[in-house]
Amino acid sequence: MEIPVIDMEKFDLREGSIPNLLQLSECLDEAFSKTGCARLINHGITTQQIENVYAGSSLFFNLPEELKNRYKHAGLEDSTVGYIGLGTERYGDKPDLHEAYLIRTAEDLPSKDLTAEDLQRKDLPGKNLADKDLVPGWRIATESLHSSLKILSSVILDALSLAIGKERDYLASLHRSEGDKKSFKLIRMGHYPPTNPDAAQTSIRFNEHCDFSTFTLLLQDNMGGLQGQDKDGNWFDLTPEPDSIILLAAQFIQFYSNEKYKALRHRVIIPEEEVKCRHSRYSIIYFVNADGQVPAWPSTATHLPQPPPNVHDHMMSVLVNPGLYCTYVRVSTMLSPKSSKNTIIIYL
């Protein structure tokens, strides 16, 4: 499968002119209609910015479990930030071999390192729990990457608005974020610990799923294993290419494009190559989500329940009660009887 490559430099988007945006919107339209994904190159984010975040991730994820658990994710409704330990999430039949650290980006990330007291506060805006002593430089690196990803995503939102036949600022007006305390706008730092080739028989690095976001920007190191599913159900590799970012179509744009674009199902498998599976894999995922109070699908979507829930409630229902929306988002099974109390099982 040929993954469409979009060279962001070609459009000279700094000028912000409509003709350039139109060209980008045509490329996005083609990529999302055909494959549900694209590879972005010359996107303005430097290798150094990305490497700095990976360096922090590597330091954090290699800490003893007990220390990482001091930063534990407190639950979905509470605060969508913090550490998610190995075995906490489960997105399908096989156990997922990943751990992650979520940072909420709807509000500005804090401009100072946080004290132990701050960390206990559940209402802290955009709290990024990585303090300077534990993981030097991680917070600053994440802030820098976040501001660049935000700029990139706002251009994509504008171009996608045109692609779905709307005014340029249509999607931006649904993705304002500021002060949205219920937002699921997140950066997810992922870590896939070293494993062995036999593990692939009983487990997977990340079970197949579609993202709930509008679209997702995905950065990965060179370990591989990320795959997308084509319209015939075949899996194809989303091979790592230095300095490129994978853009994935997700559910909100599927609904708001009136199903013209389909959210790409994807997964991360354990690489067959032994050196790769015995190595950690790191990724950075930027979920571009609409604001919490925005309808999860348009009122014109006749195949979906009306009136639509808002994005926040929709996400909560799907994540907390996976059976509820099965017909609409392919959430297929209720909690597995095998699940332990602390495991969130999410079938998409």
Ligand X SMILES: O=C(O)CCC(=O)C(=O)O
Footprint on this chain of Fe ion (rule: CB under 5 A): 211
Does residue 73 belong to the site contacting ligand X (CB under 6 A)? no
Does residue 129 belong to the site contacting ligand X (CB under 6 A)? no
Q: Which of positions 224-243 make contact with ligand X (CB under 6 A)?
A: 226
Q: Which of ligand X, Fe ion, none binds 220 (CB below 5-8 Å, type-dependent)?
A: ligand X
Q: How far is the CB of 67 from Fe ion (least distance, A)?
A: 27
Residue reference for tokens 């999607």: 171
Q: What is the distance between the alpha carbons of residues 13 and 24, in angstroms, rounded to a whole number? A: 9
Does residue 285 belong to the site contacting ligand X (CB under 6 A)? yes
Query: By C-beta, is 164 or 186 nearer to ligand X?
Result: 186
Q: Which of ligand X, Fe ion, none binds 89 (CB below 5-8 Å, type-dependent)?
A: none
Does residue 220 belong to the site contacting ligand X (CB under 6 A)? yes
Q: Which of ligand X, Fe ion, none binds 171 (CB below 5-8 Å, type-dependent)?
A: none
Q: How far is the CB of 324 from ligand X (least distance, A)?
A: 20
Alpha-carbon torsion angle 202, 208, 213, 216, nearest 10: 90
Does residue 268 belong to the site contacting ligand X (CB under 6 A)? yes
Q: What is the distance between the alpha carbons of residues 68 and 58, in angstroms, rounded to a whole number? A: 12
Among 311, 322, 316, which residue's Cα sits nearest to residue 346? 322
Among 218, 270, 288, 296, binds ligand X (CB under 6 A): 218
Kindly list the distances between the CA atom of residue 188 and the CA atoms of 16, 101, 108, 135, 213, in Å, as whole numbers in the listed order: 29, 6, 16, 16, 13
- Helix/strand number for the chain, H first, E second: 9, 14
Does residue 211 belong to the site contacting ligand X (CB under 6 A)? yes
Among 68, 188, 262, 312, binds ligand X (CB under 6 A): 188
Q: Determine contact, residues 1/230, Cβ cutoff 8 Å.
A: yes
Kindly list the distances between the CA atom of residue 108 and the CA atoms of 11, 133, 143, 144, 278, in Å, as whole numbers in the listed order: 29, 21, 9, 12, 37
Query: By C-beta, is 24 or 210 nearer to Fe ion?
Result: 210
Segment near ligand X (CB under 6 A), from 9-17, 58-66, 80-88, 218-226? 218-226
List b or e across 160-197, with b for residues whose CB sees 16 or more CB atoms inside 10 angstroms.
bbbbbeeebebbeebbebeebebbbbbbbbbbbeebee
Does residue 162 belong to the site contacting ligand X (CB under 6 A)? no
SS3 206: strand
Among 97, 286, 92, which residue's Cα sits nearest to residue 208? 92
Q: Which of Fe ion, ligand X, none binds 312 (CB below 5-8 Å, type-dependent)?
A: none
Q: How far is the CB of 250 from ligand X (least distance, A)?
A: 9
Does residue 283 belong to the site contacting ligand X (CB under 6 A)? yes
Q: Determine contact, residues 143/109, Cβ cutoff 8 Å.
A: yes
- Determine the residue with CB nearest ligand X: 283
Does residue 286 belong to the site contacting ligand X (CB under 6 A)? no
Does residue 206 belong to the site contacting ligand X (CB under 6 A)? yes
Q: DSSP alpha helices (H): ranges in the chain?
A: 18-34, 47-61, 65-68, 116-120, 138-163, 251-256, 274-277, 311-320, 326-329
Query: By C-beta, is 211 or 221 nearer to Fe ion?
Result: 211
Q: Which of Fe ion, ligand X, none binds 206 (CB below 5-8 Å, type-dependent)?
A: ligand X
How many residues of this chain bind ligand X (CB under 6 A)?
11
Let me know if 48 is exposed, middle or buried by CB neighbors in 10 A (0-12, 13-18, 19+). exposed
Does residue 92 belong to the site contacting ligand X (CB under 6 A)? no
Interface with ligand X (CB under 6 A): 188, 190, 206, 211, 218, 220, 226, 266, 268, 283, 285
